[in-house]
Structure 1
Amino acid sequence: MLELLKELVAFETVNDPSKGKRPSKECPLFIKDTLESWGIESELAEREGYYAVYGEIGVGEPKIMFMAHFDVVPVNLEEWKTDPFKLTIIGDRTYGRGSADDKGNVAAVMLALKELARKDLKGKVLFAFTGDEEIGGRMAMHMAEMLKEEGNLPKYQINADGIGMNPIIRRRKGFGAVVEVPPGRVKIKGGLKERTFKISTPIVETRHAAYFLPGVDAHPLIALSHFLRSSNALAVKIEGKFLKSNVVPSEVTLTYVEPNGADEIEADLGLTTLLKTVVPLVRTPIKAEKYSDYGVSITPNIYRFEDGMHKLYIDVRAMSHSPENIKSAFEEVLKFNLPNARLIFKNNPRAGYLFTSPESPLVKAILKTLEGFGERVKLIEGPGASDSRYFTPYGVEAIDFGPRGGNIHGPNEYAEVKSLKILPKVYEKIALELLRA
């Protein structure tokens, strides 16, 4: 398990379209070739420059599908204590980008398939390893549509994209919003100053926007907004370690003018008003359709000046299928605070949220399996979204699952060795339990 994970982590499969980075063909080819060396046939699929590995073992009706992704989020090397693309074992932890999200799961599913392929299976097991989950999962979406058209959808899905060795039976849906405003440059008398706002996650060390917990964690852009709203300062510019729309920046630096100084300085009223509006934006009154432990999450994670406009990219998580209600709630906030803003709302209508009953045979099978390994488990909700959301609208019962670990999307991401070592056997046993059902 650790040797396979070491090889997978060494592939720099960063997905960062803003910088032109995407996983190459090398990692999926490695997965495909390794499976074929074990006698498991698969095919390499490609769409818009992104790759996936898909295959089937067994015969008969499609009963279960395993899915995991090999792409990873960008890294800020300054924050890492080890080489993020070299698996480093310290004590019971394996450090490396993707060790927990999601190459540890890729390796575990591969090894489970190796064992399952040797058995006389009473039903078909489907599997897929995708390379674009971190930017929306279009490969998984196309795969779900393809299987639906072919009449080959599985009854159950184990989306190996979880953490904590606890079955995830609920996940919210993700939405996106972009707020654009033009500059409004003015010259005023004042003093030029600078202030840096840093992230604080005192309980759970992560940068994943879905894990951000207001009241416990401090978001740099929200703190910056509160500062501007509580002072007479006018923004000149902001810079920050902006990585991805669902990754909270570790720090943001505001250059601003404090009025009543001697120097004539150019400030930006458009940028100032946009930044002041961050606080009401993250408190937008969104009504969800189903209960969620995490409620609704709204985090502004990227700022850019593009095409002559100030642009703020906002990550939204809610247990909802109603994009129009969410959009109208944002429009109400902007109408009051930023009437000249343009709102671009992003929603994938083919994606849903994950909500699987605890009484599902899939859930019962995984609980029975984990108890057999001496694991103390509980059914939980995952904060973010996952590719299982493309299958649940078709009636596929799904769970997300993965090893114990931490710092997902953040520096020094790790997975615990003990859970990694039993993970392949867990996946194998769950599959056999469901195939017997």
Structure 2
Amino acid sequence: MTAEEILARLVAFASVVGQPNEAIVEWIANYAEGCGAKVTILPGPEGDRANLFATIGPAEVPGFILSGHMDVVPAGEPGWTTNPFTLRAEGERLYGRGTSDMKGFLACVLAALPALAARPLARPIHLAFSYDEEAGCRGVRHLIEALPQLCTKPQGCIVGEPSGMRAIRSHKGKAAARIEIRGRSGHSSRPDQGLNAIHAMAAVLTEAVQSAEALKAGPLDASFAPPYSSLQIGVIGGGQALNIIPDFCAAEIEARAIAGVSPATLLAPIQAATAALTAQGFEVSWDLLSEYPALSLATEAPLASLLRDLTGQEPLAAVSYGTEAGLYQAAGIEAIICGPGDIARAHRPDEYIEIGEMAACLRMVEDLGKRLHC
């Protein structure tokens, strides 16, 4: 099958984040096994989702991982001009949810399997396809934990997030949390008899805003835009009516950290502010929604040199969005980002990938196989 044909099959699976993914995992497993790959399906603790790991070549020697996620964000935006889960070709563009982020990369990797299997590889190429990346890289953590039982420690990992086929050495880390405050309702004419959850949240949000401003002073890393770690309040809700003391308020806050800074530590002052509310009679919950570390690969790293050779371009220093690459690096495996598509097209109506981008990705994977040839 061509990469375009495989992409059409993958897009047809509405593998939305947080939902069961048995159908797409089964299809990929059957296809990869048919190409000669050794496939392992790794169910997650949720019970209805799984990662997939496949190997071409000798698993007992160090090789390379090609990493991508099978899940996509929902496609409920009104701006779609056709069914988002039916691939549509128009000129050089292929439209559909997940084409850029990141089923286009998966399709190229799978399309390359027959050529990879046809050559005796001295070192293996592994496929590591995860679930629920869009919910904070949840699935890949279980896959990484299982790697010692699946293969010898790999030399490196290429994460195929959309980058226009330009390798990227670094990205920011992220941590996100949901805060819920419960107070006591009552008539608004007697605020002394209630506990206003929105007023209590205001103190927490003030701390968040002040923390966000303080981060602008540094530490700084000029390779990122902006060059400092950041923090923002993204969601807030609470209250029932104007004349009722609100007994509930919730907010979601995220922090994005430059390399060398722990994302979770950026949220610590906000968490401390919520904890202080318990002394005032409020019930407070703090739920860490997601957390993954920054990626930082040195310019002279062997993996950066390899991608420079494979793509013919100097890797970019950094991007501000996050990927699973930081988790691979934290596990002691060099990682870098390089994939077809454009992150600017992701998470929006009429997402698309260009045929030329997929052709370039297919060449990269096949050229990697040539380098590992016996």
TM-score range, shorter chain: 0.7 to 0.9
Q: How does 1:10-25 map to 2 (within 5 A)?
A: 10-16=12-18, 22-25=19-22
Measured after TM superposition, the shift of residue 158 of structure 1 is 0.7
Structure with the larger strand share: 1
Cα gap change, 1:181 to 1:139, in 2 (>3 Å):
closer
Report the counterpart of residue 115 of structure 1 in structure 2: 115
1:154-303 alignment runs, 5 A limit: 154-182=154-182, 270-271=197-198, 274=201, 278=205, 281-284=208-211, 285-286=214-215, 291=221, 293-294=224-225, 295-303=228-236
2: distance between equivalents of 1:69 and 1:321? 25
CA distance in 2, matches of 1:4, 1:271: 50
Change (3 A) 1:144 1:183: same
Determine the C-alpha separation between the residues in 1 that align with 2:335 and 2:188: 58
Structure 2 counterpart of 1:325: 265
2:370 is the counterpart of 1:370: no
Q: Which residue of 1 aligns with 2:331?
A: 394
Shift of 1:136: 2.9
Report the Cα offset of residue 175 of structure 1.
Answer: 0.5
1:314 equivalent to 2:249? Answer: no
Partner of 1:358: 299
CA contact (8 A) 1:171 1:384 kept: yes
Q: Are the aligned partners of 2:271 and 2:286 in contact in 1 as well (CA < 8 Å)?
A: no
Cα offsets for 1:239-265 (capped at 9, x unmatched): xxxxxxxxxxxxxxxxxxxxxxxxxxx
State the partner residue of 2:368.
430
- The reply on whether 1:31 has 2:33 as its aligned counterpart is no
Partners of 1:144 and 1:153 within 8 A in 2 = no
Which string of whole-angstrom CA distances, capped at 9 and with x for unpartnered residues, describes residues 158-200 of structure 1?
Answer: 11123222112111221112222336767679xxxxxxxxxxx
Unaligned regions of 5+ residues in structure 1, if any?
17-21, 190-267
Q: Report which stretch shifted further, 383-392 or 102-111.
A: 383-392
Contact 1:9–1:99 under 8 Å retained in 2: yes
Report percent identity of matched pairs: 24
Could you say which residue in structure 2 is the equivalent of 1:346? Answer: 288
Q: Against the structure 1 CA distance between its residues 310 and 107, is the aligned structure 2 distance closer, same or farther, given a 3 Å change threshold?
A: same
Count of aligned pairs between the two proteins: 348
Mapped partners of 1:79, 1:13: distance in 2: 20
For 1:201, the equivalent position in structure 2 comes to none
Length-normalised TM-score, structure 2 = 0.80
Q: Secondary structure at the match of 1:39?
A: coil
Tell me which residue corresponds to 2:357.
419
CA distance in 2, matches of 1:364, 1:314: 37
Task: Name the amino acid aligned to 1:25.
Answer: E
With over 3 angstroms needed to count, the CA separation of the structure-2 counterparts of 1:336 and 1:115, relative to structure 1, is same
Contact 2:169–2:336 (8 Å) recurs in 1: yes
Over 3 Å counting, the alpha-carbon distance change for 1:362 and 1:332 in structure 2 is same
Paired residue secondary structure (2:180): strand
Please tell me whether the aligned partners of residues 66 and 127 of structure 1 are also in contact (alpha carbons under 8 angstroms): yes
Contact 2:277 2:284 in 1 (8 A): no
TM-score by length of 1: 0.70
Which residue of 2, 7, 10 maps to 2:9? 7
User: Higher helix share goes to which structure?
Assistant: 2
Structure 1, 272-281 or 100-109: larger mean CA deviation: 272-281
Give how far 1:69 is off.
1.0
Q: Distance in 2 between matches of 1:111 and 1:346?
A: 38
C-alpha distance 323-137 of structure 1, shift in aligned 2 (>3 A) = closer
Does the 8 Å CA contact 1:15/1:134 hold for their aligned counterparts?
Answer: yes
- In structure 1, distance between residues paired with 2:283 and 2:348: 32
Contact between 2:44 and 2:50, CA under 8 Å: does it hold in 1? yes
What's the counterpart of residue 58 of structure 1?
A: 57
Aligned partner of residue 108 in structure 1, secondary structure: helix
Q: Give secondary structure in 1 for the equivalent of 2:97.
A: coil
User: Measured at CA, do residues 358 and 272 of structure 1 come closer, stay the same or move farther in structure 2, by a change above 3 Å?
Assistant: same
Measured after TM superposition, the shift of residue 269 of structure 1 is: 5.5
Checking the alignment, whether the CA contact within 8 Å between 1:277 and 1:337 is kept in structure 2 is no
Structure 2: distance between partners of 1:84 and 1:90: 14
The reply to whether residue 130 of structure 1 matches residue 130 of structure 2 is: yes
Structure-to-structure mapping, 1:71-82, within 5 angstroms: 71-82=71-82
> Amino acid of the residue matched to residue 233 of structure 2?
P
Q: CA deviation at 1:368?
A: 1.7
Residue segments in structure 2 that go unaligned for 5+ positions in a row: 190-194, 240-246
Partner in structure 1 of residue 341 of structure 2? 404
2:243 corresponding residue in structure 1: none
Q: Distance in 2 between the 1:84 and 1:33 partners?
A: 25
**Per the alignment, do residues 410 and 303 of structure 1 end up closer, same or farther by CA in structure 2, a change over 3 Å counting?**
farther
The offset of 1:412, in angstroms, is: 2.4
The AA in structure 2 aligned to 1:344 is W
Q: Whole-Å Cα distance in 1 between the matches of residues 4 and 220 of structure 2?
A: 39
